[in-house]
Homo-oligomer: A and B are copies of this chain.
Amino acid sequence: MEELIRYGEKFFDELEIAVYRSKDVSANVELNEISMASTRSGAVTILRGIKDKRLGLAIIDSAEPARIREAIEQAAKMAKLNSRDEKWVSLPEPGKYREKPKPNYELKDASPDQLVEMLVRGIKLAREKDENVIVAGGEGGVSWEERHIVNSHGIDVFQEGGAAFFFIELVGRKGDVVTPGIFDFDARRDLNLDVDGVVERAVQKVKWAYDVKASKNEEVPIILGPWAIAGLLSFALFPAFSGERLVKETTPLAGKVGEKIASDVLTIYDDPFHELSIQPVVADGEGVPTRKNVLIENGTFKGFVWDNYWAKVHGTESTGNGKRDLNSGGINIGFHSMVIENGKRSLEDMISEIEHGYFVDGFQGAHSSNPDNGNFAVTANPAFLIEDGEVKGASVFLVAGNVYELLKGASEVSKEQTVMPFMTTIITPFVKFENVKIAGK
């Protein structure tokens, strides 16, 4: 790589070479059957070079030196055609990295067989527990990634590792009732995925869903599950923490560092080294050391996160939140492993105290939330009615509001913490919110 950097310096003032090698193994379920098993591997190299503040960026699906040389030349031609980005300062300098966690090489050698067996066991278990259940969908997967990021200022960081995940979607049919798709999932850094737990939780939710209850317009306490939380916060809240949005004046959190923006019970941080993290990266997509960045501490907003470019534009330092988009090659501000701190009591205890309210498993439509102001309008589905401390059936309703209003009403977080590996990866407890206005459907 050293040699390629030297070659690139003939064309550029500074340059970066990022090589990603991946291996993905997966198996899928459709309607109670295994529908496919797949093994894919590949390499992608992204070349970013800057000459006279003009950017060149080339992507190739190879890590061969000869091809990387071609990509350097390609990017150099592009840089010549682009105009100067007067805001450009420089690529990052090397930093001090944390010790890399030991990769679990068992994941590198995972075969689709192991995943197929897991899924077959899951299907069998679900149908034993409830004969009215169809396993409508599901997937087991293992991803392995080796990333090597090098730049002409001396950054040279390599890391490898993997993660496994498993999810199922059940649909129950009983009499006239067809339940909505009910999901559950697990994700971890080894193959000991909790298939039994996933199936048990999903089957329990299907049982609840057989009993369809009407919903009405009212103000009630609601408990949000991991899938609902990840959906809503990924789109309505998390983008507001981006330093790019601070510079562009599209975050409602501008000028609010140190202010209370949520209730005391909420502490939220991005921490790739959390014990449940499925991607414990020591460096971000441009080789800047990662760290734990606290965003909300006991309800108080602590600050923004940055990548190298926007940090330098703003006159601050990257917080290690430059995430590489392997499709566009670009760096965006993002999160490694969002964590909502957990509490002391179980979900069961929390439910047992609710006289009348809902436990919301998923929100639909969260992607059209507006992070510029936190407004959202979502359909809670599946949502489970709680009466006298017990789940009594399933319902659907609308919630339209503002995420910051919602956060102020948070009253408790559960002991249980779940890794939600889809959308923004988030490690979250169940969270209870008071006096949420819902509209019956």
Contacts and interface: CB of A to CB of B under 8 A. Distances in A.
Interface of A: 27-28, 32-42, 55, 57-61, 71, 74-75, 77-78, 81-83, 85, 112-113, 116, 120, 328-330
A113 B58 CA distance: 11
A55 B40 CA distance: 21
Contacts of A57: 35-37
B35 A77 contact: no
A85 B35 CA distance: 12
Contacts of A120: 81
Contacts of A329: 35-36, 38
Contacts of A77: 113, 116
Contacts of A40: 59-61
A74 B330 contact: no
Given A39-B59, A82-B34, A113 B328 contact: no
B74 A112 contact: yes
Given A77-B116, A116-B81, A61 B35 contact: no
A134 to B, nearest CB: 13
A328 B112 contact: no
A38 B59 contact: yes
A32 B83 contact: yes
A82 B33 contact: yes
A38 B58 contact: yes
Contacts of A32: 83
Contacts of A36: 57-59, 328-330
A82 B35 CA distance: 9
A22 to B, nearest CB: 11
Contacts of A78: 27, 34, 37, 116
Given A74-B112, A112-B58, A116-B78, A83 B33 contact: yes
A57 B28 CA distance: 10
A-B complex: 9 closest residue pairs judged by Cβ atoms: A38-B59, A40-B61, A36-B57, A36-B329, A33-B82, A81-B120, A34-B78, A37-B58, A39-B60
Nearest to A24: B61
Contacts of A116: 77-78, 81
19 contacts: A33-B55, A33-B85, A34-B81, A35-B328, A35-B329, A36-B57, A36-B59, A36-B328, A36-B330, A37-B57, A37-B58, A38-B59, A39-B58, A39-B60, A40-B59, A40-B60, A41-B61, A74-B112, A81-B116
A58 B74 CA distance: 36
